[in-house]
Amino acid sequence: MPSIHRNIPDSAGLNAFRADPALRALLKLYLDPETLAALLPRLEEMGARLGGELEELALTADRNPPVLHIRNRIGAPQERIEKHPAYQRLEEIAYGEFGLAAMSHRRGVFGQPEALPPLAKYALVYLFVQAEFGLCCPLSMTDSLTRTLVKFGDPDLVAEYFDQLTSQNMDLAFQGAMFMTEQPAGSDVGAIETTARQDADGTWRLYGDKWFCSNPDADLAMVLARPEGADQGTGALSLFLLPRHLPEGSRNAYRILRLKDKLGTRSMASGEIMLEGAQAHLVGDPGQGFKQMTDMINMSRLANGVRSAGMMRRAVAEALFIARNRNAFGRRLAELPLMRRQLEKMLVTAEQGRSMVFHTARVLQRADGGDAEAARVLRILTPLIKFRTCRDARKVAGDAMEVRGGCGYIEEFSDARILRDSHLGSIWEGTSNIVALDVARATRREGALDALRGHLDTLIAETGSTLPKGLEDAMVRAFELMADVAADKSREAEVRQAASAVYNATSAVILAWEGARIDQDGGATAAGIGSDRTRLAALVLRHKLVPRDPLAKGELAPEDGLLDRALADATPLREAAE
């Protein structure tokens, strides 16, 4: 139960789902009633465990990182990664109890007759990551590896591994990984040097050095390699499925050289891999590896955005709780004008991220159902989220630490861990520059910007009169900037500016659309939430899209109760006790 001792608020015991009524309203908007009914008890359970068991496990796992052992006590080779029991318990909860890596691929999770839609998984991960970020990487890679294998792999290969990849039995379940990064390559995937050689009997063997491999002892990994004698560049790469153990049970021919000493995600192992003739299965057609791996990368990018949005929510929720329950200078922090301004800015950015990832999950479901236009929209939304949502999380996490003050800098609270972890979202699966350039590439080559424009025009028509004045004009200008920059290689330095503008315009339209739909369909349980999202859209427009004089007076818009309602959800001690 939340407590305060000598003016230090502690949110431990607070149900993160109940303290976030906007989450319930958004899920009611985006999910069908049957799925929502099946999911609500699990969301309640996850929210209740966040403030207690999951938080303690995550803090413990972070303080006790994995250890690589090369030999046993008598000197015999016995390579293994020792994981702390707290991390293993988190694995049991995520993979086993909640089936987070399985629910998008098979029926039966939560007793459901069919696989659940993407947002069901993302909603639970959005909560789970508010306690633990490190494990979400293996979860995402297992989930996306399964998707890529099913999509491109030979049916016999899929049949061999599908049940284990989607099992909730921890004694049988397989975890996945992606081994792509190399020292000479990094973001330049076309420079990959790992070589694939084919034996006379058709067996493929991999040779090379993979430089950054998260979850390096995973049971299966997707690996990019260049078949011997193939041309240079991405167009000659092939995709391989690498098993940790061979069918007879022996270890495959690759070694973990060392584990990385990282700034964040300390609970989860990342290491360096030496491939020494390891047997692997070709996935799909030769020379199509980069295109196929891109599917896995894009799913990981979207998952990165979900995690960043979740961490922003945790940061904002903690800041709101502290501001409502801590006193300074004879007043609550939440009554101080500068604090209110800081909280409002954090809230706007966090809600932008949430709306972007939830709406993109809806687009993903349509794209996977065969909607070609939705696939084009998804093509640009994914790098937009990876670029902007992941960058925003770093700022929001830092501001939230400041709200807690000196205690936020202490490792007994989660502020420092969340700040460290938030920085990784902008690095793996493509740095900010790389994904911003990918937004331009999707615009230039695939018409994805036009598809997004059409999608937003539909949302604007459905929003009607509640669309903030000037938003449509700002959207048009943002899209024109992106189109001009993408078409002119000499303007590459403006790509990030243009991508940020498109992200802000898109998120504002989605927020306004959500507000209109929630007001229309939400009922009494969503009272005020729809209008709040409309106000959030107006704040995005005012502070992130419309040019203004930084020296002008009175540039702040009235809050209209938005922040006060958010603060009211951050339950104070006396209400929690009652």
pLDDT single digits (tens) 227-251: 999 999 888 999 999 999 999 999 9
Q: Give pLDDT, residue 578.
A: 35
CA distance linking residue 250 with residue 229, whole number of Å: 30
Q: Which residue has the higher pLDDT, 128 or 551?
A: 128
What would the two tokens of residue 41 be?
A: 């008890």
Q: Provide the sign of the torsion angle of the four alpha carbons 575, 54, 178, 108, taken in this order.
A: negative
DSSP 4-68: EETTEEE-TT--TTTT-HHHHHHHHHHS-HHHHHHHHHHHHHHHHHIIIIIHHHHHHHHHS--EE
Category of 78 on φ-ψ map: left (φ > 0), alpha (ψ -120 to 50) or beta: beta
DSSP 336-368: SHHHHHHHHHHHHHHHHHHHHHHHHHHHHHHHH
E-assigned strand segments in 132-237: 176-179, 195-198, 204-214, 220-227
- 220-227/195-198 β-pairing: parallel
Q: Is the separation of the CB atoms in 352 and 507 below 8 Å?
A: yes
CA distance linking residue 466 with residue 456, whole number of Å: 15
CA distance linking residue 360 with residue 374, whole number of Å: 10
Q: Assign 521 a pLDDT band (cuts: 50, 70, 90).
A: confident
Q: Provide the sign of the torsion angle of the four alpha carbons 259, 265, 268, 273, taken in this order.
A: negative
Which amino acid belongs to residue 153?
A: G
The number of helices, as runs of H, and strands, as runs of E, in the chain is 18, 13
CA distance linking residue 516 with residue 147, whole number of Å: 34
Number of other CB atoms surrounding residue 238 within 10 Å = 24
In this prediction, residues 297-325 reach a mean pLDDT of: 96
Which amino acid belongs to residue 152?
A: F
**CB-count exposure of residue 321 (10 Å: 0-12, 13-18, 19+):** buried
CA distance linking residue 237 with residue 124, whole number of Å: 35
Query: Does residue 188 carry a pLDDT above 90?
Result: no
Category of 561 on φ-ψ map: left (φ > 0), alpha (ψ -120 to 50) or beta: left
Q: Give pLDDT, residue 526.
A: 60
Q: What is the mean pLDDT of the chain?
A: 94
Query: Does residue 553 carry a pLDDT above 80?
Result: no
What would the two tokens of residue 336 be?
A: 């101080």
Q: Assign 99 a pLDDT band (cuts: 50, 70, 90).
A: very high
Which amino acid belongs to residue 272?
A: E
Q: Which residue has the tokens 């940790």?
A: 244
Q: Assign 570 a pLDDT band (cuts: 50, 70, 90).
A: confident
What would the two tokens of residue 104 be?
A: 């998008």
SS3 (DSSP) at 241? strand
Q: Give pLDDT, residue 333.
A: 95
Q: Give pLDDT, residue 190.
A: 85
Q: Assign 187 a pLDDT band (cuts: 50, 70, 90).
A: confident
In this prediction, residues 202-229 reach a mean pLDDT of: 96
Which amino acid belongs to residue 158?
A: V
In this prediction, residues 301-322 reach a mean pLDDT of: 97
In this prediction, residues 261-290 reach a mean pLDDT of: 96
CA distance linking residue 304 with residue 266, whole number of Å: 17
CA distance linking residue 426 with residue 436, whole number of Å: 11
CA distance linking residue 63 with residue 218, whole number of Å: 22
Q: Give pLDDT, residue 565.
A: 87
**CB-count exposure of residue 502 (10 Å: 0-12, 13-18, 19+):** buried
Phi, psi of 470 (to 5 degrees): 95, -10
Query: Does residue 349 carry a pLDDT above 70?
Result: yes
Least confident of 83-97, 164-178, 280-294, 549-563: 549-563
Q: Give pLDDT, residue 531.
A: 93
* For the chain, percent of residues with pLDDT exceeding 90: 86
pLDDT tens-digit readout, 425-453: 999 889 999 999 999 999 999 999 999 99
Q: Assign 533 a pLDDT band (cuts: 50, 70, 90).
A: very high
CA distance linking residue 123 with residue 449, whole number of Å: 27
Q: Which residue has the tokens 């407590």?
A: 3
Query: Does residue 575 carry a pLDDT above 50?
Result: no
**CB-count exposure of residue 4 (10 Å: 0-12, 13-18, 19+):** middle
Q: Give pLDDT, residue 523.
A: 57
Q: Is the separation of the CB atoms in 249 and 409 below 8 Å?
A: no
pLDDT tens-digit readout, 62-87: 999 999 999 989 988 889 999 999 99
HEC string of 509-537 equals: HHHHHHHHHHHHHCCHHHCCHHHHHHHHH
**Nearest residue to 89 (alpha-carbon basis) of 58, 133, 46, 50:** 58
CA distance linking residue 213 with residue 278, whole number of Å: 16
CA distance linking residue 428 with residue 414, whole number of Å: 22
Rg (CA), the chain: 24
**CB contact burial 185-206 (16+ within 10 A = b; e otherwise):** beeebeebebbbeeeeeeebbb
CA distance linking residue 282 with residue 170, whole number of Å: 27
Which amino acid belongs to residue 414?
A: S
Q: Give pLDDT, residue 573.
A: 46
pLDDT tens-digit readout, 293-304: 999 999 999 999
CA distance linking residue 319 with residue 311, whole number of Å: 12
Q: Assign 559 a pLDDT band (cuts: 50, 70, 90).
A: low
Q: From residue 42, give the alpha-carbon distance in Å to each of 45, 47, 92, 127.
A: 5, 8, 15, 11
Q: Which domains does the chain have, with CATH numbers?
A: 176-288 (2.40.110.20), 431-546 (no CATH)
